[in-house]
């Protein structure tokens, strides 16, 4: 077993000899003397412990080992060139890694992301979704959009506008079960969104205190799953009007009792105080804050920048 890699120059010279078919031809390609080419090839053969060429007069004939080795080196050089071009093409790209709660990412952020990219064509974003908070400064993430999480002391917090946690169902479900007043919730299956900051017992205590809850109904640990099931007419969900904005806008979900909800500020954007001067972060914070003020506006189709 040899120790380490041959020098890159030897490998480049070897490939030139294979292409030219002679040391003289390779010398012309590399602007070297034939003796310099011969010296490098003997050194490479010595390192490999086997011959790569049979010397026949002024020509060199590659051995089977040389043919195999050359093909492998050619593939490696091609991958190296591709990687080099990819890195060079990315020079000047400003990438912003963002972590977000899964349902917020799917229901609100991604449908509006085209707007941000249109306004900031020089910034590329990378979106990572997960319920557990990001380790800012350790995982490469610069922004974390959290749901009902404490804010670390070394971070700046940007709270979103209030959202209202309200009962939601499809129009067909409401008609089928003749839902008219909060007291009717004891007659229908309730969809439980387990991570929601307001649960059914809290809502009923305020709006239907004398009504026993129907304990039947599916449970979900993601808001977008609970809302999708409600839109399919399988129950009455209790979720955020912020999360459900698009479904409400399209009429796929309706508030059967009107805007009887419990207000909460559950979503917030955080970033490290050490990154306060990062222009990409500041651009995203400004855009999100402004866009959140217009949260009831539907997501737009934005042309490519």
Q: For position 162, what pLDDT does the model report?
A: 86
Q: For position 294, what pLDDT does the model report?
A: 66
| Separation of alpha carbons 41 and 15, rounded Å | 11
Residue 198 has pLDDT above 90, yes or no: yes
What's the pLDDT band for 303 if we cut at 50, 70, 90? very low
When pLDDT is averaged across residues 151-166 and rounded to a whole number, the result is: 91
The answer to whether the CB of 284 falls within 8 A of the CB of 291 is no
| Separation of alpha carbons 70 and 76, rounded Å | 10
More confident call, 231 vs 213: 231
What's the pLDDT band for 304 if we cut at 50, 70, 90? very low
CATH 1.10.10.10 fits 8-89, yes or no: yes
Residue 159 has pLDDT above 70, yes or no: yes
Residue 196 has pLDDT above 80, yes or no: yes
For the chain, give the percent of residues with pLDDT over 90. 65
Residue 299 has pLDDT above 80, yes or no: no
Q: For position 287, what pLDDT does the model report?
A: 95
271 by DSSP, 3-state: which? strand
Same fold? 94-161+266-293, 163-264? yes
| Separation of alpha carbons 286 and 305, rounded Å | 19
Residue ranges per domain, the chain?
8-89, 94-161+266-293, 163-264
What's the pLDDT band for 302 if we cut at 50, 70, 90? very low
Long-range contacts of 23-29 (CB under 8 A, 24+ apart): 23/60, 24/58
When pLDDT is averaged across residues 6-16 and rounded to a whole number, the result is: 91
Domain 163-264 fold:
D-Maltodextrin-Binding Protein; domain 2 (3.40.190)
Please give the model's pTM, rounded to 2 decimal places: 0.66
Most confident of 4-8, 69-73, 159-163, 204-208: 204-208
Q: For position 87, what pLDDT does the model report?
A: 67
Domain 94-161+266-293's class? alpha beta
Residues 35-67: tens digit of each pLDDT:
999 999 999 999 999 999 998 777 789 999 999
More confident call, 305 vs 222: 222
Q: For position 274, what pLDDT does the model report?
A: 92
Residue 228 has pLDDT above 50, yes or no: yes
Residues 235-263: tens digit of each pLDDT:
999 999 999 999 999 999 999 999 999 99
When pLDDT is averaged across residues 215-226 and rounded to a whole number, the result is: 91
60-64, 81-85, 93-97, 118-122: the lowest-pLDDT one: 81-85
When pLDDT is averaged across residues 277-297 and rounded to a whole number, the result is: 85
Give the list of residues 6+ apart from residue 239 with CB closer than 8 angstroms, or none: 165, 166, 168, 193, 196, 223, 226, 227, 230
Token output for 233: 């007419």
Angle formed by the axes of helices 110-119 and 279-293, nearest 10°: 120
Residues 266-283: tens digit of each pLDDT:
999 999 999 999 999 999
Q: What average pLDDT does the structure give for the chain?
A: 88
Cα dihedral value 38, 43, 45, 48, nearest 10? -160
Q: For position 93, what pLDDT does the model report?
A: 61
Residue 155 has pLDDT above 70, yes or no: yes
């Amino acid at each position: 077993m040899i120790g380490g890699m041959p020098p890159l120059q030897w490998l480049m010279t070897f490939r030139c000899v294979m292409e030219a078919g002679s040391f003289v031809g390779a010398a012309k390609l590399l602007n070297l003397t034939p003796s310099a080419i011969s010296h490098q090839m003997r050194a490479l053969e010595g390192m490999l412990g086997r011959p790569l060429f049979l010397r026949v007069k002024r020509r060199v004939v590659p051995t089977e080992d040389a043919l195999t080795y050359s093909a492998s080196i050619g593939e490696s050089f091609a991958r190296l060139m591709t990687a080099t071009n990819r890195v060079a093409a990315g020079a000047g790209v400003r990438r912003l890694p963002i972590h977000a709660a899964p349902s917020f990412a799917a229901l609100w952020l991604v449908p509006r992301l085209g707007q941000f990219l249109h306004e900031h064509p020089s910034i590329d974003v990378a979106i990572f979704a997960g319920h557990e908070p990001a380790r800012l400064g350790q995982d490469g993430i610069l922004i974390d959009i959290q749901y009902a999480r404490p804010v670390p002391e070394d971070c700046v917090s940007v709270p979103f506008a209030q959202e209202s946690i309200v009962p939601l169902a499809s129009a067909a479900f409401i008609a089928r079960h003749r839902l008219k007043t909060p007291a009717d919730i004891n007659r229908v299956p309730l969809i439980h969104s387990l991570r929601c900051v307001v649960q059914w017992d809290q809502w009923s205590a305020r709006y239907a205190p004398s009504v026993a809850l129907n304990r039947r109904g599916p449970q979900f640990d993601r808001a977008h799953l609970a809302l999708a099931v409600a839109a399919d007419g399988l129950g009455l969900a209790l979720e955020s009007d912020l999360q459900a904005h698009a479904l409400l806008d399209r009429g796929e979900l309706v508030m059967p009792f009107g805007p009887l909800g419990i207000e909460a500020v559950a979503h917030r954007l955080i970033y490290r105080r050490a990154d306060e001067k990062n222009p990409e972060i500041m651009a995203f914070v400004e855009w999100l804050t402004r866009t959140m003020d217009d949260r009831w506006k539907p997501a737009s189709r934005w042309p490519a920048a």
